[in-house]
């Protein structure tokens, strides 16, 4: 069975979309473990679904977080999925797993990506730029921040009455569809 590790930093709603996809379909993969860089609700979601969890506190480990995660994972997973993981992985980690690390980002990359662009900040920037559309992107992780090759995107219309909060909710709904779909595509490609 194809095994994935899901890395999170928050509530884990994208993690839940993967769990739900696995439980309601004949997914050809399983979640081997969930790793967080701090205490968060996503860990509870994983534990409630009997998935192995591990916390590597970014405030304690700082620059060593990538090394510790790499040692913990070893060669037991086929794909690393960043689902709201806020720590930046170092170049060694990325090079060791090139083509086998993906990230979901809540904008239509290359727009509104890069350092500091996460969470509600992205949606505020989209509204301030008066964009007509936004969306989400699944991309390969490379040494840059949100610069890896795009795998797939989903778009949403930005309405005149949208706020950063309403836009965030619309984009998140699309993330929940896009991420499991992209994982399935990669499972077929990498198996």
**pLDDT tens digits, residue range 59-116?**
999 999 999 999 999 999 999 999 999 999 999 999 999 999 999 999 999 999 999 9
**What mean pLDDT do residues 156-163 have?**
98
Q: 30 CB contacts (<8 Å, ≥6 apart)?
A: 1, 2, 3, 4, 22
| Domains of the chain by start residue, with CATH | 2-116+137-153+178-190 (3.40.50.170)
Q: Which helix (H) or strand (E) holds 101?
A: strand 101-105
In this predicted structure, the answer to whether residue 23 has a pLDDT above a threshold of 90 is yes
Say if residues 114 and 103 touch (Cβ distance below 8 Å).
no
User: Does residue 45 have a known ligand-binding role?
Assistant: no
In this predicted structure, the answer to whether residue 14 has a pLDDT above a threshold of 90 is yes
pLDDT band at 27 (very low <50, low <70, confident <90, very high): confident
User: Does residue 13 have a known ligand-binding role?
Assistant: yes
Tell me the percentage of the chain whose pLDDT exceeds 90. 98
- Burial code of 102-137, b = ≥16 C-beta within 10 A, e = fewer? bbbbbbbbebbbeeebbeeebbbbbbeeebeebbbb
pLDDT of residue 117: 95
**What mean pLDDT do residues 172-190 have?**
96
Beta bridge partners of 157: 133
- Residues with catalytic annotation? 105
User: Does residue 58 have a known ligand-binding role?
Assistant: yes
pLDDT of residue 49: 97
Residue 184: CB atoms within 10 Å: 16
pLDDT of residue 26: 81
Kindly calculate the radius of gyration of the chain based on its CA atoms and give it in whole angstroms. Answer: 16
pLDDT of residue 25: 86
Question: Cα–chain-centroid distance for residue 66?
Answer: 16
User: Does residue 92 have a known ligand-binding role?
Assistant: no
């Amino acid at each position: 069975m194809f095994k994935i590790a899901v890395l999170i930093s928050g509530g884990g709603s994208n993690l839940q979309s993967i769990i739900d996809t696995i439980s309601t379909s004949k997914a050809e993969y399983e979640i081997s473990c969930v790793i967080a860089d701090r205490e968060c609700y996503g860990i509870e979601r994983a534990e409630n679904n009997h998935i192995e969890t591990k916390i590597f506190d970014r405030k304690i480990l700082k620059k060593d977080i990538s090394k510790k995660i790499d040692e913990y994972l070893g060669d037991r997973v086929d794909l690393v999925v960043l689902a709201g993981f806020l720590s930046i992985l170092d170049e060694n980690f990325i090079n060791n797993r090139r083509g086998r690390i993906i990230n979901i980002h809540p904008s239509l990359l290359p727009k509104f990506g890069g350092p500091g662009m996460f969470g509600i900040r992205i949606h505020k920037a989209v509204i301030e730029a008066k964009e007509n559309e936004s969306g989400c992107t699944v991309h390969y992780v490379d040494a840059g921040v949100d610069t890896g090759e795009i795998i797939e995107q989903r778009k949403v219309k930005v309405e005149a009455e949208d706020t950063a909060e309403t836009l965030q909710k619309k984009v998140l709904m699309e993330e929940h569809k896009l991420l499991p779909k992209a994982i399935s595509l990669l499972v077929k490609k990498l198996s």
